[in-house]
């Protein structure tokens, strides 16, 4: 009986009506159709299956966007992925469920530079998992930010944990131990033997990001030519743009990058890490590569006070997070919906562009854009309903509402007439 009920549930077709969809780089007035957690083509339903929807959801005129994807998040709600080695699974679940209120349906838990012992304890337990109301946002794999970075551009990373690549690939395996659950590695391309390590990571299907680096433009170009495709939080933890050597920032206009290779770059659009003018420069120079990341730390969602990031004590004052007793920025407490709203205002970009920077582009970074980041037919039915100011009204994973704005009635599926 259970299998029959499950089969019946998989066969149910739900139509989301009275909404404006973000599809094919524009917002259009159209319904969204869901079956078995996937977005389907209604024409095939009408003409091939010759059936109508079983359920309908009234969206009340909302914008329906793909769910947001955060590729760099250190923690939140009191959880620090780099420090929470005792109860890893419970910590991930707390963050994953908390993120739903901000429209995030998938993310990469990020671990900053740590000891080999910590990597060996934490990494095997930070497993990918499908999102749901119980699990929260989907875990897309771990982002390892360090420890193979520049000590001069370490930011909030603990200096004694930073490692060279003196033994090449063996250095990587000695420190990390296991890469099975890893999706992204941030490293500095100027390190000795970095090129070989980048190439090896790419063959394993791991995205390589350049960051926390003192690299020249040429060193950055070599990293990209070896397969790197992402820049970690552009402008932060790298030399400032200089007209004689623009460094990693210059990669946005480099002619040494293969023409078929889209270079993506993360931006923390929290109003603290990146000046609005810098946001506009990046947006107008190379919008197709712009990816919003929060770089949020454990204090996200908690308010002012002293909190932990890895081995560092972090002071939160309003929207600013700094290493306690210094002015060094240490991640953010911004949420993804706030970053999208700030990008649209500061960069003066369109709603479509602001949303795609948090949906389609991060999915493309991971090579997962057939499944995530869009509302194309066959994609996962992970999406968020927004008002015109891009405030979250409801979040859905596989077509099921997993978060309801407490100020609004839920979006309930009702039987069709």
Q: Tell me which residues are annotated as active site.
A: 295
Strands 264-267 and 290-292 turn out to be parallel
Pick the closest to residue 248 from 295, 189, 196, 192 (CA basis): 189
What is the Cα–Cα distance from 279 to 82, expressed in whole angstroms?
Answer: 29
Establish whether 342 is an annotated binding residue: no
Task: Answer for the pair 139, 95: CB distance below 8 angstroms, yes or no.
Answer: no
End-to-end CA distance of the chain: 27
Tell me whether residue 7 is annotated as binding.
no
Q: Is 187 annotated as a binding residue?
A: no
Tell whether 138 is in a known binding site.
no
Annotated binding-site residue? 242: no
Tell whether residue 378 is among the known ligand binding residues. no
State how far the Cα of 178 lies from the Cα of 120, in Å rounded to an integer.
Answer: 7
Other CB atoms within 10 Å distance of the CB of residue 306? 10
Of 209, 214, 224, 91, which Cα lies nearest the Cα of 153?
A: 214
**Does 243 count as an annotated binding residue?**
no
Count CB-CB contacts under 10 A for residue 346: 19
Is 244 annotated to bind a ligand? Reply is yes
- 145 labeled part of a ligand binding site: yes
Closest CA to 158 of 374, 313, 321: 313
233 carries a ligand binding annotation: yes
Residue numbering of the annotated binding site: 145, 156, 212, 233, 236-237, 244, 273, 329-331
Residue numbering of the annotated binding site for substrate: 156, 236-237, 244, 273, 329-331
Residue numbering of the annotated binding site for Zn(2+): 145, 212, 233
């Amino acid at each position: 009986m259970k299998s029959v009920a499950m089969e019946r549930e998989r066969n149910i077709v739900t139509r989301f009506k009275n909404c404006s969809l973000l599809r094919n780089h524009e917002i259009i007035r159209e319904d969204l159709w869901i079956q078995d957690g996937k977005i389907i083509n209604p024409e095939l339903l009408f003409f091939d299956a010759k059936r109508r929807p079983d359920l309908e959801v009234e969206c009340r005129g909302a914008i329906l966007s793909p769910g947001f994807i955060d590729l760099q998040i250190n923690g939140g709600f009191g959880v620090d992925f780099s420090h929470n080695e005792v109860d890893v699974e419970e910590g991930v679940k707390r963050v994953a469920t908390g993120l739903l209120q901000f429209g995030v349906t998938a993310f990469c838990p990020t671990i900053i530079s740590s000891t080999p012992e910590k990597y060996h304890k934490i990494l095997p337990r930070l497993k990918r998992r499908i999102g749901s109301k119980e699990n929260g946002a989907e875990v897309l794999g771990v982002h390892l930010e360090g420890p193979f970075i520049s000590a001069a551009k370490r930011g909030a990373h603990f200096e004694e944990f930073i490692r060279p690549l003196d033994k090449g690939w063996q250095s990587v395996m000695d420190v990390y131990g296991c890469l099975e659950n890893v999706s992204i590695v941030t490293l500095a391309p100027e390190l000795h033997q970095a090129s070989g390590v980048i190439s090896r990571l790419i063959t394993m299907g791991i995205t390589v990001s350049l960051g926390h680096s003192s690299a020249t433009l040429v060193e950055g170009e070599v990293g990209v030519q070896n397969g790197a495709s992402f820049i970690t939080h552009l402008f932060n933890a790298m030399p400032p743009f200089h007209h004689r050597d623009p460094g990693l920032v210059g990669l946005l206009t480099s002619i040494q990058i293969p023409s078929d290779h889209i270079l993506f770059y993360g931006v923390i659009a929290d109003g603290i890490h990146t000046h609005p003018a810098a946001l506009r420069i990046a947006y107008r120079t190379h919008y197709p590569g712009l990816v919003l990341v929060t770089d949020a730390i454990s204090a996200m969602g908690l308010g002012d006070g002293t909190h932990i990031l890895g081995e560092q004590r972090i002071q939160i004052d309003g929207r600013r997070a700094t290493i306690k007793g210094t002015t060094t920025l240490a991640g953010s407490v911004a949420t993804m919906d706030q970053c999208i709203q700030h990008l649209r205002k500061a960069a003066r970009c369109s709603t479509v562009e602001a949303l795609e920077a948090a949906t389609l582009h991060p999915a493309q970074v991971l090579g997962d854009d057939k499944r995530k980041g869009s509302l194309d037919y066959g994609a996962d039915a992970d999406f968020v309903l927004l008002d015109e100011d891009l405030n979250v009204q409801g979040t859905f994973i596989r077509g099921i509402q997993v978060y309801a704005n407490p100020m609004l009635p839920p979006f309930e599926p009702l039987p069709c007439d």
